[in-house]
């Protein structure tokens, strides 16, 4: 995606059951070595967050029953994976038969080590000593925060929903209460509005991986022999060696619970409707992943076929399809195949320029200029159908089109977006929280995408033409009914009450207020 959108985070969890021998799935010497696999799992879901990474390992043979390591940076940086001695020393300090891991990008809170996850809550009582990681965003975070701070004795050290969840779990464990996993999750589920997948591990050695009742964010798990694992995407499990048929999606409103008695799936909340985030298939997830029994690759392939079905540009020997690397390639290839024209790499991505979303608009523009290199040998004199998965803010798309003309000498550039226009913010874990930052809304007439609107957008971007997919193409490509998907950013219709309230606030949000995200205006 040009002008990249970013997901909040990703989760990983692994557990070697007692009594079993080392699993042939993993290159480990014994049960206590399975924690070493967490950084490897996190690398496979690094696409979900590059701001920070961390893990907590449980080891009953160590005084420090829960040991947490986390920091700002990529997985490789945080775990010293480029320096064998550093990595080995860290892993020796974090051995254990069970561990959870996390990668983060901030949609809420600051960008420092204090916000890195997992968050650990030490306690003298083992059942109250726990660590957890969180994927998603609570739409009713402002209300939950205000409720906590209404008691003058309470204090929140961080300005994000993760600490609110920490306190919510801690409250259910307070006093003499000994809730079961189902009781604990049911209690917090009744208070939370939004997307909230969590992975929890406590000092007793119990691990809980839960998916919210709407199933907004994905969660996959696998059980083979003594090894149990879960991750935000199936690719992390597949690359550990789990058989494809062993990998399943955790049902919304259920939890994978693992302890000395073994693994089990338990329901903690009813799930009368689903609201799977369509963007997981369109953009966020690794193309090798399968989520809720739908292949990410095949969905993107079908989106490209939908684009081909609508194409009206004259096709001749000088017409080529060019994907914007990397998430658009499957759609571009499928579109080109249906149109019987070449799909060529006219843009080469420089993978070492850094993530443009971290910086301000001026810096993003500067980095965009070096992020993609147009190949003149491929583009010169060509009618280019440029395929992108979505446009959000448009800053980098404008730069890219200019470079394709000036450096690549493309004759024509026709932008095709394998997604409908983004017209509303996301309050469930994607970093676009205000309407003012979005490219499409000012061009729509009463929310309707017209040919005239697309022509105006093309002119603004510097393209010869632009076309989005219609909304119905999304559900058709994913293979789910639209009422089982969250398409709020496409329609302005949110699956939760708090999401709808935030949207109404966003509609009246003044970007001059100084609040960069809608929820920051609610205090």
> How do the pLDDT tens digits run along the chain, 523 residues long?
544 554 568 999 999 998 766 555 655 568 899 999 999 999 999 999 989 999 999 999 999 999 999 999 999 999 999 999 999 999 999 999 999 999 997 555 456 687 899 999 999 999 999 999 999 999 999 999 999 999 889 898 888 899 999 999 999 999 998 999 999 999 999 999 999 999 999 999 999 999 999 999 999 999 999 999 999 999 999 999 999 999 999 999 999 999 988 999 999 999 999 999 999 999 999 999 999 999 999 999 999 999 999 999 999 999 999 999 988 999 999 999 999 999 999 999 887 665 444 344 555 566 667 789 999 999 999 999 999 999 988 888 999 999 999 999 999 999 999 999 999 999 999 877 789 889 999 999 888 899 999 999 999 999 999 999 999 999 999 999 999 999 999 999 999 999 999 999 999 865 444 445 554 445 4
Q: Is the CB of residue 75 less than 8 Å from the CB of residue 46?
A: yes
Residues 175, 320 within the same domain: no
Residue 131 belongs to a domain = yes
Residue 277 belongs to a domain = no
Residues 303, 426 within the same domain: yes
In a 3-state reduction of DSSP, which class is residue 475? helix
Q: Last residue of some domain: 237, 272, 307?
A: 272
Residues 250, 120 within the same domain: yes
Residues 219, 325 within the same domain: no
Residues 323, 204 within the same domain: no
Query: How many Å apart are CA 357 and CA 367, to the nearest integer?
Result: 10
Residue 441 belongs to a domain = yes
Residue 428 belongs to a domain = yes
Residue 186 belongs to a domain = yes
Residue 172 belongs to a domain = yes
Number of structural domains found in the chain: 2
Which of these, 52, 56, 74, lies nearest to 65 by C-alpha position? 56
Q: Last residue of some domain: 209, 240, 272?
A: 272
In a 3-state reduction of DSSP, which class is residue 261? coil
Query: How many Å apart are CA 494 and CA 128, to the nearest integer?
Result: 35
Residues 81, 125 within the same domain: yes
Residues 415, 473 within the same domain: yes
Residues 340, 252 within the same domain: no
Widest Cα–Cα separation across the chain: 76
Residues 233, 335 within the same domain: no
Which residue is catalytic, options 9, 277, 486, 489? Answer: 9
Residues 252, 319 within the same domain: no
The residue segments making up the domain with residue 257 are 9-272
Helix residue ranges per DSSP H, 271-394: 279, 296-310, 329-339, 361-371, 376-379
CA 62 to mean position of chain CA atoms: 34
Q: What CATH number is attached to the domain comprising 180?
A: 3.60.20.10
Sign of CA dihedral 239, 240, 245, 246: negative
Residues 243, 327 within the same domain: no
Residue 171 belongs to a domain = yes
Residue 281 belongs to a domain = no
Residues 145, 266 within the same domain: yes
Q: What CATH number is attached to the domain comprising 367?
A: 3.40.50.2020
| CA distances to 349, 379, 388 from 326, in Å | 8, 18, 9
Does residue 204 carry a catalytic annotation?
no
């Amino acid at each position: 995606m040009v002008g990249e959108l970013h997901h909040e985070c990703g989760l990983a969890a692994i557990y070697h059951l007692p009594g079993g021998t080392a699993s042939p799935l993993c290159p480990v010497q014994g049960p206590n070595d399975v924690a070493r696999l967490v950084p490897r799992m996190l690398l496979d879901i690094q696409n979900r967050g590059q701001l920070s990474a961390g893990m907590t390992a449980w080891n009953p043979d160590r005084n420090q029953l829960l040991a947490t390591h986390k920091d700002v940076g990529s997985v490789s940086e945080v775990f010293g994976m480029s320096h064998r001695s550093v990595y080995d020393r860290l892993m020796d300090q974090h051995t254990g038969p069970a561990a959870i891991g996390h990668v983060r990008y901030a949609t809420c809170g600051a960008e420092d080590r204090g916000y890195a996850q997992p968050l650990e809550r030490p306690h003298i009582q083992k059942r109250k000593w726990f660590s957890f990681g969180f994927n998603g965003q609570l739409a009713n975070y402002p209300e939950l925060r205000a409720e906590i701070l209404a008691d003058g004795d309470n204090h929140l050290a961080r300005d994000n929903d993760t600490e609110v969840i920490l306190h919510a779990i801690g409250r259910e464990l307070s006093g003499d209460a000994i809730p079961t996993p189902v009781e604990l999750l049911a209690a917090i589920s009744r208070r939370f509005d939004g997307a909230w997948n969590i992975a929890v591990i406590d000092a007793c050695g119990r691990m809980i991986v839960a998916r919210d009742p709407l199933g907004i964010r994905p969660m996959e798990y696998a059980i083979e022999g003594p090894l149990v694992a879960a991750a935000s995407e199936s690719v992390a499990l597949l690359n550990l060696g789990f058989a494809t048929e062993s990998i399943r999606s955790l049902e919304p409103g259920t939890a994978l619970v693992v302890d000395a008695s073994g693994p089990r799936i338990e329901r903690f909340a009813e799930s009368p409707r689903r609201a799977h985030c369509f963007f997981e298939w369109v953009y966020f997830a690794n193309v090798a992943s399968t989520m809720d029994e739908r292949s990410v690759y095949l969905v993107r392939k079908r989106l490209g076929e939908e684009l081909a079905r609508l194409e009206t540009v004259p096709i001749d020997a000088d017409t080529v399809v060019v994907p914007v690397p990397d998430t658009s390639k499957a759609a571009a290839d499928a579109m080109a195949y249906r149109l019987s024209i070449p799909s060529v790499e006219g843009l080469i991505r420089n993978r070492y320029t850094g993530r443009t979303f971290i910086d301000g608009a001026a810096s993003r523009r500067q980095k965009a200029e070096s992020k993609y290199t147009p190949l003149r040998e491929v583009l010169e004199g060509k009618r280019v159908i440029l395929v992108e998965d979505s446009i959000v803010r448009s800053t980098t798309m404008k730069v890219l089109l200019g470079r394709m003309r000036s450096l690549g000498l493309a004759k024509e550039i026709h932008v095709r977006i394998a997604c409908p226009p983004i017209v509303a913010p996301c309050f469930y874990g994607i970093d676009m929280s205000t309407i003012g930052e979005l490219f499409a809304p000012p061009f729509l007439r009463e929310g309707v995408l017209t040919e005239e609107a697309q022509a105006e957008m093309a002119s603004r971007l510097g393209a010869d033409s632009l076309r989005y997919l219609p909304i119905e193409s999304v559900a058709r490509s994913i293979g789910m009914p639209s009422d089982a998907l969250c398409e709020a950013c496409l329609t302005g219709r949110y699956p939760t009450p708090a999401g709808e309230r935030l949207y109404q606030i966003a509609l009246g949000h003044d970007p001059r207020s100084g609040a960069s995200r809608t929820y920051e205006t609610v205090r």
